[in-house]
Amino acid sequence: MSNSSKTVLVTGGSKGIGLAIVKRFVKADMQVITCARDKDYWEDIVKNDSTLKKVGFQQVDLSSQQEIKQLFDYIKDSYRKLDIAINNAAMPILAAGKFRTLNLEDIRQNIENDLLMPIECMHKELELMSAGANIVNITSISGFVATTQASIYTAAKHGVEGLSKTLALELSSQKIRVNCVAPGLTMTPRWNKRFATKDSSADLAKIEQQLPAGRFAKPEEIAAAAFWLASDEASYINGHTLVVDGGFSIADSRTCQYE
């Protein structure tokens, strides 16, 4: 199968890691579909990068079951199939702070955003997949280490990691692979916003001193890992998590926190 005949879904593809992944697959001449909540934001991106004009963009809020259904109805009607699905979409961490202080409604919403949302997407993706297809879930190093101040996010990411491994076994007889990419600290718009002021430069330096690589990852570095795992070059890799964190998770995990 040539690259041009492959259909790829990247959820949450308008910013940060998601956008970098979209661009990587477009560069490989694949038919890319993506979704995000802000259509105007996406259209501004396309104005500055004409290569993205051929991307099948859908305005979708993946926290809505109805809108998830509409997205996959669109994919089925327009493309008939999915060869690759990259589940990247993420929401702000609502239940942040010490576990005992967390609001139960925020906990429920956080679980829905970070666990149920990718589960629902995978359920729909598999309806459009056949032998040779594969799923790559963008998780986090929080999926296998303790992350203080983000207990619910950590629980959700552990859940996605566990489900991915289980599905890898369940689907192996159908020749469908399921893997994960676990980024460490990556310079996404959320971090860019935090470090936008001159006064925040000291905070950035303090965090980078804790990282074995001495810097944040670039979104393009995470995208490269996702692209490779989804490619035929990784055809014998299944149920695996590719950690892209510059060595952070093998250092002192007590520094892994959202404060």
By annotation, the residues acting in catalysis are 153
In angstroms, the CA 180 to CA 241 distance is: 5
User: Residues with Cβ < 8 Å from 117, sequence gap 6 or more?
Assistant: 62, 63, 89, 91
Helix (H) or strand (E) holding 7: strand 7-11
Per DSSP, what are the bridge partners of residue 243?
182
Per DSSP, what are the bridge partners of residue 138?
181
DSSP SS3 for 78: helix
In angstroms, the CA 134 to CA 258 distance is: 31
Per DSSP, what are the bridge partners of residue 39?
none
Per DSSP, what are the bridge partners of residue 181?
138, 242
Backbone angles phi and psi of 68, in degrees to 5: -60, -45
In angstroms, the CA 56 to CA 33 distance is: 4
Helix (H) or strand (E) holding 127: helix 117-127
Q: Look-up: residue for tokens 């690259």?
A: 3
Backbone angles phi and psi of 136, in degrees to 5: -125, 120
